């Protein structure tokens, strides 16, 4: 990764044991995530801009400019030890609409259900690549063998296992199939949380070469000897 420009070093807030890391451009939706969370937010926010940064320091606990793709940047931060004071870290794409209170609930659910890897479900009106990620009505949580690269949330121990794979390819396709394998497909530790949902507002793959992304995905799966598994193992309903 190229040299980074730090506008505001990440500083952990006392009492907040969770971190959101968003790779942000000028149209990032993350400022909306902060609405209504001034008094009870259980997460810090690190804004990592991939293009010249239009945001102000008071919008996050950490703010920097760092060119490159999402997971390569995250791997660099992990290598620097920036996440070690947190219990859980969420890596959402910047084109997700989600309420700040639902982000609170995401982290509470990680702890309550003792999850290693999870994500919010996607609303029915979202652009999506995988039907399994769409919200199931009246469900609270589905234990699965898959969590999408769009918005994975890791326990810090699971992150330490999976982060070395984050620079496996440029477009990031297929890496999300690798993580459950690296974790050993643990029973009831990987999940899609239907009690909350995010809305993905941009078409998937609209800004890059899909043919090259597919080629990289198959290369990545072969390198890790991973089969595609997107299974629902159990569901807890309301």
Domain boundaries of the chain, sorted by first residue: 5-237
List of residues 6+ apart from 160 with CB closer than 8 A? 78
Comparing 36 with 17, the larger pLDDT belongs to 17
User: Distance between CA 184 and CA 117 in Å, rounded?
Assistant: 12
How would you label 111-132 residue by residue, b for 16+ Cβ within 10 Å and e otherwise? eebebbbbbbbbbeebebeeeb
Enter the pTM of the model: 0.95
**May I ask the CATH architecture of the domain 5-237?**
Alpha-Beta Complex (3.90)
How do residues 169-217 score in pLDDT, each as one tens digit? 888 888 999 999 999 999 999 999 999 999 999 987 656 688 888 889 8
Q: Please list the residues that pair with 80 across neighbouring strands.
A: none
Q: What percent of the chain has pLDDT over 90?
A: 81
Question: 3-state DSSP: the chain helix, strand, coil percent, rounded to 5?
Answer: 30, 25, 45
């Amino acid at each position: 990764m190229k040299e980074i420009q730090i506008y505001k070093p990440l500083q952990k807030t006392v009492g907040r044991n969770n971190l959101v890391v968003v790779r942000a451009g000028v149209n990032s939706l993350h400022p909306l995530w902060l609405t209504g969370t001034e008094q009870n937010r259980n997460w810090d926010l690190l804004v990592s801009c991939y293009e010249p940064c239009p945001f102000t320091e008071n919008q996050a606990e950490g703010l920097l400019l760092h060119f490159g793709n999402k997971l390569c940047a995250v791997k660099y931060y992990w290598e620097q030890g920036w996440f070690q004071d947190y219990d859980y870290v969420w890596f959402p794409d910047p084109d997700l609409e989600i309420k700040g209170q639902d982000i609170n609930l995401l982290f509470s659910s990680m702890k309550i259900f003792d999850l290693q890897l999870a994500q919010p479900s996607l609303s029915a009106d979202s652009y999506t690549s995988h039907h399994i990620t769409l919200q199931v009505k009246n469900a609270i949580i589905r234990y699965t063998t898959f969590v999408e690269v769009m918005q994975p949330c890791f326990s810090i121990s699971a992150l330490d296992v999976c982060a070395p794979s984050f620079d496996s390819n440029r477009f990031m396709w297929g890496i999300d199939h690798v993580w459950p394998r690296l974790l050993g497909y643990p029973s009831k530790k990987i999940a899609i949380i239907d009690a909350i949902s995010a809305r993905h507002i941009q078409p998937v793959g609209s800004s890059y070469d899909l043919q090259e992304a597919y080629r990289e995905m198959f290369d990545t799966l072969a390198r890790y000897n991973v089969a595609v598994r997107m299974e629902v193992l159990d569901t807890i309903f309301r």
